[in-house]
Amino acid sequence: MEGGDAPQDRSPRLAALRLRDLRTYEEADLELGPGLTVVSGPNGAGKTNLLEAAYVACTGRSFRAAGDRELVRRGRDAAHVAVEVERPGFGRATFTVGLVPGDRRRLRVDGAPVDGLLDHPSRPLLSVFLPDRLALVKGTPGLRRAHLDQVVLALRPAAAAVRRRYVDALRQRNALLGQLRAREVSPAAAATDLEPWDRALADAAVALTGARAEAVALLADPVAARAEELGLAGELSVEYRPRVAGDAEAFRAALAERRVGDLERGFTHAGPHRDELALRRDGRAIARFGSQGEQRLCLLALLLGEADALQAETGRRPVLLLDDVMSELDATRRERLVAVLRAGGQALVTVTEAAHVPHADDPGVGRVEVEPGHARALRVSTIAEVA
Ligand SMILES: Nc1ncnc2c1ncn2[C@@H]1O[C@H](COP(=O)(O)OP(=O)(O)OP(=O)(O)O)[C@@H](O)[C@H]1O
């Protein structure tokens, strides 16, 4: 992040967390500082549960797609999680989420019921590293597309309408393809029926492709810079590879070219729902040519680069929730990662032993100790002195 002309930091952060009967926790009350906080405890103690609780409180949903029955502590009927968020210039707000299996989740801001938390101006953006999320680097293009679209939305909230328009047009075109297929309509006759949907789909595709390309252009440099900072050997590149590039006419031509195949299979083959976000190191796919540790560094560089781009574009840096992030990193990379995390923004990092995090004992680094059923703050972090 080029400090000089960056917008003023308006990032909301987590100031306190209160849990009641959520997963392993009967009761936990924690104050959280603005910088790096190390959350340590033995296997199964509830470290991931704590990050999940923060996520639930800020969004109303779990990052593990868990249902309320899983989230509520065994043997209890209801769970409650609250987060106090602080946003520079706006003061504090308290988000609470009440979970009763079989009932609607009860969301409140400062005690007043709300339909959702996602659009609240004080809601912290969250960026989550879970070991499972390595699938983003190693897994299918669909995971990366979905992730990219989330980043697009965070960078340009108005793009939500663009994506919806594309998804609707695709659904309608696919439904029509299914009907035409069932009626065994010839490709020539089907072309007339499909024409208006091809137009709608092509227009939406151009808008979506444009939004994705713009987002990737904003990410590419920060991600490469973070990869280098973290000590990933070689040069990491993030490239957007649309299946069909060009204007609406080019999309319509691509649709026409694949019409016979589309009718045979009953779905649309060409378009942004087949795009790829390529993560490459020195021109080679990191998924195939990277080690475990390198893939981990790649995911971290992606998340950190996204945070940089978001901060540069919106003035708001996401809070990083990093679960079991130190595994597979050597001492040098751990040192580098901690230096990056201490240099700005709020981050919660879980580890089994605090000693796995270099400088965990420094007074500026926050410490939370988790043992089954409980969590307590040993020390509250402060913002690192590094600009
Ligand atoms: N609803 C629930 N009620 C009670 N316990 C639960 C509930 N859901 C999960 N658990 C328990 O939470 C524990 C897992 O917690 P968590 O994943 O946070 O551990 P962790 O500290 O991150 O461990 P590790 O270091 O192994 O990753 C398991 O022992 C699981 O049985």
DSSP 47: H
Residue 224 to residue 215: CA distance in whole angstroms = 15
- Residue 185 is predicted with a pLDDT of 93
Domains of the chain: residue spans and CATH: 13-125+316-379 (3.40.50.300), 143-277 (1.20.1050.90)
Q: Is 43 annotated as a binding residue?
A: yes
Quote the ligand 1 centre to 60 CA distance (angstroms): 20
Minimum CA distance residue for ligand 1 atom 16: 46
Tens of pLDDT, residues 307-364: 999 999 999 999 999 999 999 999 999 999 999 999 989 999 999 999 999 999 999 9
Phi, psi of 156 (to 5 degrees): -135, 85
Calculate the CA 305 to chain-centre distance: 12
pLDDT category, 5, cuts 50, 70, 90?
very low
Average pLDDT rounded to a whole number, residues 33-44 = 95
Which residues does a 6 A CB cutoff place in the pocket of ligand 1? Answer: 23-24, 41, 43-49, 70, 72-74, 324, 352
Which of 24, 130, 357, 369 is the pocket-test mutation for ligand 1 (most atoms within 8 Å of CB)?
Answer: 24
Q: Is 46 annotated as a binding residue?
A: yes
- Residue 8 is predicted with a pLDDT of 55
- CB 168 within 8 Å of CB 208: no
Give me the chain's average pLDDT, please: 93
- Per-residue pLDDT at 143 exceeds 60: yes
At 342, list the tokens. Answer: 């201490």
Average pLDDT rounded to a whole number, residues 108-112 = 96
CA neighbor of 225 nearest in space, from 313, 307, 138? 307
pLDDT category, 129, cuts 50, 70, 90?
very high
Residue 138 to residue 314: CA distance in whole angstroms = 29
C-alpha radius of gyration, the chain, whole number: 23
- Residue 378 is predicted with a pLDDT of 87
Q: Which of 65-74, 235-244, 283-292, 374-383 has the lowest mean pLDDT?
A: 374-383
The amino acid at residue 228 is: E
Residue 236 to residue 218: CA distance in whole angstroms = 15
Atom of ligand 1 nearest to the CA of 75: 3
Residue 167 to residue 63: CA distance in whole angstroms = 23
**In Å, how far are 127, 134, 263 from 140, measured between CA atoms?**
20, 11, 25
Average pLDDT rounded to a whole number, residues 269-287 = 94
- Residue 2 is predicted with a pLDDT of 39
Tens of pLDDT, residues 62-95: 998 778 999 999 999 999 999 999 998 889 999 9
Minimum CA distance residue for ligand 1 atom 14: 44
Quote the ligand 1 centre to 33 CA distance (angstroms): 24
pLDDT category, 384, cuts 50, 70, 90?
low
Minimum CA distance residue for ligand 1 atom 17: 48
Quote the ligand 1 centre to 140 CA distance (angstroms): 28
Helices (H), 11-85: 47-59, 68-71
